[in-house]
């Protein structure tokens, strides 16, 4: 099965991803051409064989000269083509050789060739073409998935290069400041110290972003190589087998029936017929498949593995579990482990179902109108008593098509599932190594908590929920409403890999509490941990309850009309022309939201939220029709529209150069003045490696310190709540002073998730 797979010689120079992916694309196109050529060859073989039998029946009563001319006619056809070592071609050559010896055949064989042997070949040609078409469709889908993996690899690679460039630049500025401090130790010392501290903080923050981007790049790199390996080692062979299902069996049965009549008709040709029997028995589907792959080695050989290409001077070549990312990697590892186990079980079950369906399909193909009889039985020339026609042929063929459709459904499930297992396994193995290095004996769950930067004392008369978003933005000065920015940041930091995010409902009580807190102007997600599904529910609730939907109602009909355009570039251009007419504050929020949704969909292997699933969750909230329109009728079109915008958000929404405002950032981090709280749950210690009781005392002390620390934090939070309540009451007693003081402060939020990785110290 894998004898054709040999890695090409590795090149001395560094492989460029764009060139390598372009070569892979060309190779995938060539594969489809080869499969089409193979179908043409099989169809031609079946048509030639049917033509041969028909002509054989007509000239069966003629003398040796006419039969010899027939053999020469088909021999000349083969000579015009390239010689083939396929078992079917060998049968064809043996058949022509035997024909030259059958110059004096009797009339009984004429009736068999004219009536009973051509019909199975015609049906074989029909289902062979159907199977080849379905195999090609699945192959196209698998190739699209392969190209998607390579696209994700390129995106992760570019993101990693960008952040590493920023890290190198920030590190250079830090070294420059340190050199200035050495030169000017006495003058302006305090100013240089502050500058160095700021640049050190900047270096640490960019280094964290760079590490995150590198991790995503390494994971996508492993997934891409694993997908390539899976496709070239397994999927291609499976698809070729699917296209050939029943083809060899049908030919075998036709030829066996032909041989049965010949053995009864002419015993004097036993030697020649035994040679033909050997050729027919040599029909081997796997051998023909391997021969096809070997003949087109350059087309089907697996390309070189994608090498890791570190950026300038970067020495890290593995997924790193630094302290800030330890929680994220551990959570992601557990989720992938659970997901991998479930998908593996589903794929194994799909494989069993595929084998069962294949057996049923072969059994149905075998249940045709050909009944072989032994060559020793007596028969009369021209009789048809040994070929019985079974009743209900149309019913059996309809049932066979149902089995055929079921078989290809199972093949698709198995191939898609096994490809997903391959990608998840590659990520699982890398994360396992990183997590094991980061956690030696004690394992826990850490929660990242941000300080509350919300404008709690900001007074305005516009509602956040169930209000008008544009009016709220203009009144509050928040370019991204606090509920949108805070929820997206929380999910980015903690929930990109959470299975069923936005699809699974959260606690209604917790959703209401979050809504009320945001409505008061607080940022509850900056103070404590909340359930991810509840946070996602608040974000959906905000957009669902807007007085005017995110996409204005008067533009819905134009958007749905443009969404029907087949050409992707033209569709994106038309949608952009409509969206560009919206107010700029609305465009900024749209751009931020859809970049985030696209980021969530990139982890669909783990969170099971493909772009369409996200569109189903957000479509009804973001796009609405007129009051008299049928919501049920429009919903599929709305879902398709939102899905297209998620996939093409970079082409649809104007960039920051066209419309100023915050831009969603994939690799978010906590700010320098944020705190990082670790809460340990279900701690487990591997006592098998402890050699004395000192280890037990150490870990017991550590756990007690952790518990006391957690309790002290809870007390501090309660005291903080009391102080906030006192301040709010004082504000109510002195409204005039509060309004004057709050109006003097612009409600600016820090752009930690906004305008990209630019250095604020330049």
Cα 513 to chain center, whole Å? 36
pLDDT in tens, 654-698: 888 888 888 898 877 665 444 444 443 333 434 334 343 443 444
How far apart (Å, rounded) are the C-alpha atoms in residues 625 and 170? 49
pLDDT in tens, 569-588: 999 999 999 999 999 999 99
Q: Which residues pair with 365 in a beta bridge?
A: none
Phi, psi of 389 (to 5 degrees): -95, 120
Rounded percentage of the chain residues whose pLDDT exceeds 70: 74
Kindly report the length of the chain: 762
Asked if the model's pLDDT at residue 444 lies above 60, the reply is no
pLDDT of residue 599: 92
Tokens of 394: 């149309």
If one counts every other C-beta atom within 10 angstroms of the C-beta of residue 149, the result is 22
Specify the CATH number of the domain 321-365+396-439: 1.10.287
- Mean pLDDT over 2-16 rounds to 45
Q: Which is higher by pLDDT, 710 or 526?
A: 526
Q: CB of 300 within 8 A of CB of 236? A: yes
What SS3 class is residue 217?
helix
Q: CB of 649 within 8 A of CB of 568? A: no
pLDDT in tens, 133-173: 888 889 999 888 888 888 888 888 889 899 899 889 988 88
How far apart (Å, rounded) are the C-alpha atoms in residues 547 and 567? 34
pLDDT of residue 534: 92
Question: What's 10's DSSP letter?
Answer: P
Report the run of H or E that residue 448 belongs to, with start and end: strand 445-449
pLDDT in tens, 322-347: 766 677 777 777 778 888 888 888 88
Asked if the model's pLDDT at residue 602 lies above 80, the reply is yes
Phi, psi of 188 (to 5 degrees): 55, 40
| DSSP string for 511-559 | HHHHHHHHHTT--GGGTS---HHHHHHHHHHHHHT-SS-SS-GGGHHHH
Report H helices in 316-392: 326-366
pLDDT of residue 369: 62
Reduced to 3 DSSP states, what percent helix, strand and coil does the chain have, rounded to the nearest 5? Answer: 70, 0, 30
- Mean pLDDT over 536-560 rounds to 90
Look at the domain 469-652 and name its fold.
Answer: Phosphatidylinositol 3-kinase; Chain A (1.10.555)
Asked if the model's pLDDT at residue 739 lies above 60, the reply is no
Q: Please report which confidence band the pLDDT of residue 734 belongs to, taking 50, 70 and 90 as the band edges.
A: very low
Tokens of 427: 């990520």
Whole-angstrom Cα Rg for the chain: 35
Report H helices in 379-507: 393-438, 469-476, 482-494
User: Which range among 370-379, 598-607, 725-734 has the greatest average pLDDT?
Assistant: 598-607
pLDDT of residue 430: 79
If one counts every other C-beta atom within 10 angstroms of the C-beta of residue 413, the result is 17
Q: Which CATH architecture has domain 21-77+84-265?
A: Up-down Bundle (1.20)
Phi, psi of 583 (to 5 degrees): -60, 145
Sequence ranges of the domains in the chain? 21-77+84-265, 321-365+396-439, 469-652
Report the run of H or E that residue 293 belongs to, with start and end: helix 285-295
Q: Which residues pair with 449 in a beta bridge?
A: 675
What SS3 class is residue 320?
coil
How far apart (Å, rounded) are the C-alpha atoms in residues 67 and 491? 79
Q: What is the four-CA torsion angle of 744, 747, 748, 750, rounded to 10 degrees?
A: 130
- Residue 501 burial (10 A CB sphere; 0-12, 13-18, 19+): buried
Cα 706 to chain center, whole Å? 40
How far apart (Å, rounded) are the C-alpha atoms in residues 261 and 384? 10
If one counts every other C-beta atom within 10 angstroms of the C-beta of residue 233, the result is 15
In order of 35, 270, 302, 525, 708, the CA distances from 4 in angstroms are 16, 39, 9, 56, 63
- Mean pLDDT over 478-500 rounds to 89
How far apart (Å, rounded) are the C-alpha atoms in residues 697 and 704? 11
pLDDT of residue 8: 47
In order of 3, 42, 251, 469, 636, the CA distances from 631 in angstroms are 56, 50, 54, 23, 9
- Mean pLDDT over 238-254 rounds to 85
Average the pLDDT over each of 40-49, 450-459, 553-562, 720-729 and give the range with the smallest value: 450-459
Count the alpha carbons within 13 Å of 238 in the hemisphere toward its beta carbon: 24
How far apart (Å, rounded) are the C-alpha atoms in residues 54 and 113? 6
How far apart (Å, rounded) are the C-alpha atoms in residues 598 and 215? 19
Phi, psi of 344 (to 5 degrees): -65, -45
Which bin fits 548, alpha (ψ -120 to 50), beta or left (φ > 0)? Answer: beta
How far apart (Å, rounded) are the C-alpha atoms in residues 93 and 227? 40
């Amino acid at each position: 099965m894998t004898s054709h797979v040999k890695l090409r010689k590795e090149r001395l120079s560094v492989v460029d991803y764009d060139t390598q992916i372009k070569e892979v694309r060309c190779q995938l196109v060539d594969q489809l051409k080869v499969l089409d050529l193979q179908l043409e060859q099989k169809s031609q073989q079946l048509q030639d064989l049917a033509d041969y039998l028909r002509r054989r029946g007509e000239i069966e009563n003629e003398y040796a000269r006419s039969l010899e001319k027939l053999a020469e006619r088909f021999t000349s056809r083969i000579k015009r083509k390239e010689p083939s070592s396929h078992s079917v071609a060998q049968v064809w050559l043996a058949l022509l050789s035997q024909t030259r010896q059958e110059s004096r055949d009797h009339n009984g064989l004429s009736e068999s060739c004219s009536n009973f042997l051509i019909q199975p070949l015609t049906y074989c040609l029909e289902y062979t073409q159907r199977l080849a078409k379905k195999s090609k469709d699945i192959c196209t889908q698998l190739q699209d998935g392969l190209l998607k993996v390579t696209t994700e690899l390129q995106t992760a690679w570019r993101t990693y290069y960008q952040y590493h460039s920023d890290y190198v630049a920030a590190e250079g500025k830090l070294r420059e400041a340190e050199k200035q401090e050495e030169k000017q130790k006495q003058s302006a010392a305090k100013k240089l110290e502050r500058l160095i501290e700021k640049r050190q903080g900047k270096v640490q923050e960019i280094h964290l972003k760079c590490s995150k981007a590198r991790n995503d790049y390494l994971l996508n790199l492993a997934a891409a190589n694993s997908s390539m390996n899976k496709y070239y080692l397994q999927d291609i062979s499976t698809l070729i087998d699917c296209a050939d299902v029943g083809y060899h069996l049908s030919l075998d049965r036709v030829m066996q029936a032909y041989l049965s009549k010949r053995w009864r008709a002419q015993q004097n040709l036993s030697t020649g017929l035994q040679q033909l029997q050997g050729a027919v028995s040599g029909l081997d589907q796997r051998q023909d498949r391997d021969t096809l792959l070997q003949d087109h080695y350059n087309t089907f050989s697996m390309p070189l593995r994608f090498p890791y290409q570190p950026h300038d001077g970067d020495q890290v070549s593995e997924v790193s579990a630094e302290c800030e990312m330890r929680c994220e990697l551990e959570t992601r590892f557990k989720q992938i482990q659970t997901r991998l186990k479930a998908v593996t079980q589903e794929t194994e079950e799909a494989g069993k179902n595929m084998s069962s369906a294949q057996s049923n399909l072969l059994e149905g193909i075998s249940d045709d109108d050909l009944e072989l009889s032994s060559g020793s039985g007596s028969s009369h020339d021209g009789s048809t008593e040994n070929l019985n026609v079974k009743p209900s042929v149309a019913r059996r063929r309809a049932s066979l098509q149902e089995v055929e459709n079921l078989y290809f459904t199972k093949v698709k499930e198995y191939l898609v599932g096994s490809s997903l297992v391959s990608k998840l396994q590659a990520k699982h193995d890398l994360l396992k190594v990183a997590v094991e290095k980061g956690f030696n004996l004690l394992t826990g769950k850490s929660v990242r908590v941000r300080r509350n930067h919300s404008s709690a004392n900001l007074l305005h008369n516009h509602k956040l929920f169930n209000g008008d978003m544009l009016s709220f933005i203009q009144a509050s000065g928040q370019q991204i409403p606090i509920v949108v920015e805070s929820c997206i940041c929380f999910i980015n930091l903690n929930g990109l890999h959470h299975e069923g995010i936005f699809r699974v409902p959260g606690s209604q009580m917790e959703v209401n509490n979050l809504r009320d807190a945001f409505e008061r102007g607080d940022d509850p997600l900056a103070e404590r941990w909340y359930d991810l599904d509840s946070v996602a529910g608040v974000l959906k609730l905000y957009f669902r309850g807007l007085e005017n939907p995110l996409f204005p109602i008067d533009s819905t009909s134009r958007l749905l009309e443009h969404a029907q355009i087949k050409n992707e570039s033209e569709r994106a251009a038309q949608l952009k022309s409509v969206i560009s007419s919206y107010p700029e504050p609305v465009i900024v929020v749209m751009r931020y939201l859809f970049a985030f949704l696209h980021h969530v969909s990139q982890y669909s292997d783990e969170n099971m939220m493909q772009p369409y699933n996200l569109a189903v969750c957000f479509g009804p909230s973001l796009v609405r029709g007129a009051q008299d329109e049928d919501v049920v009728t429009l919903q599929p079109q709305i879902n398709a529209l939102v899905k297209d915008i998620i996939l093409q958000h970079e082409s649809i929404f104007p960039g920051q150069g066209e419309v100023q405002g915050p831009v969603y950032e994939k690799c978010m981090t906590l700010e320098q003045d944020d705190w990082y709280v670790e809460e340990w749950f279900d701690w487990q210690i591997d006592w098998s490696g402890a050699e004395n009781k000192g280890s037990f005392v150490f870990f017991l002390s550590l756990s007690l310190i952790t518990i006391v620390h957690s309790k002290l934090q809870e007390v501090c939070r309660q005291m903080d709540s009391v102080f906030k309540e006192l301040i709010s009451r004082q504000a109510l007693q002195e409204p005039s002073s509060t309004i004057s003081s709050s109006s003097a402060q612009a409600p600016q939020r820090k752009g930690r998730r906004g305008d990209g990785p630019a250095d604020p110290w330049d």
